């Protein structure tokens, strides 16, 4: 008996991270993030800051939706008194593949198409992990370099559908600095909790 293709997934998030769904319930999720961010401060003193943060959040949501995003994960609590410049975007893509191709073979083909890619295991199945740095691009409004890690996961029972979990952290000076590397380690740890589900 063939199991149905999963239609959902789960992740165990680090403390202080929140999920913003991009297809349904987005407005409520953004409101909860803002309420949490300013819960300890008097409303009359934070109006301008809240409005600015809300504008930035909605811009991130619009960018994520343009990238066919399903979910956006953001850190909403300070770490040692500093905001964490990172995000995780989950999106679904389609990749035409030959019928009957084994998922492991498929992952090896994808991994061999570019340097910096490797095959890893997620929830007992093969996935492709890519790590790279991206430079600043002031012409596109990108002021700082970033370090990025993507996991591409073929959906079981439906290898033409792939889930991409894309992590990005912005570095004010060095995308290979200690904080960036620590956040990459954190994301890799989060990915060990990835599980498919059918609901």
The residues spanned by each domain of the chain are: 15-77, 85-199
Q: Which residues sit opposite 72 in a β-bridge?
A: 20, 89
CA distance 166 to 194: 13
Query: Residue 99's pLDDT band (boundaries 50, 70, 90)?
Result: low
What CATH number should be reported for the domain whose range is 85-199? 3.40.1000
The torsion region of residue 123 among left (phi > 0), alpha (psi -120 to 50) and beta comes to: left
Instruction: Indicate the pTM of the whole model.
Output: 0.83
Residue range 165-186, pLDDT digits in tens: 999 988 666 666 777 888 899 9
């Amino acid at each position: 008996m063939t199991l149905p293709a999963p239609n959902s997934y789960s992740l165990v998030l680090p403390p202080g991270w929140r999920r913003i769904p991009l297809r349904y319930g987005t407005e409520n999720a953004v409101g909860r993030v803002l309420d949490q961010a300013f819960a300890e401060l008097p409303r009359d003193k934070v109006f301008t800051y809240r409005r600015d943060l809300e504008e930035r959040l909605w811009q991130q949501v619009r960018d994520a939706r343009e990238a066919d995003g399903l979910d956006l994960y953001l850190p909403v609590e300070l770490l040692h008194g500093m905001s964490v410049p990172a995000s995780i975007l989950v999106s679904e893509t389609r990749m035409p593949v030959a019928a009957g191709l084994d998922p492991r073979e498929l992952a090896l083909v994808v991994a061999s198409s570019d340097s910096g890619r490797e095959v890893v295991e997620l929830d007992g199945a093969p996935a492709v992990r890519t790590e790279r740095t991206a430079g600043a691009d002031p012409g596109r409004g990108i002021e700082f370099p970033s370090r990025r890690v993507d996991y591409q996961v073929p959906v079981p029972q439906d290898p033409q559908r792939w889930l991409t979990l894309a992590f990005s952290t912005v570095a004010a000076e060095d995308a290979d600095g200690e904080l960036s590397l620590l956040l990459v380690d954190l994301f890799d740890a989060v990915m060990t909790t990835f599980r498919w589900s059918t609901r």
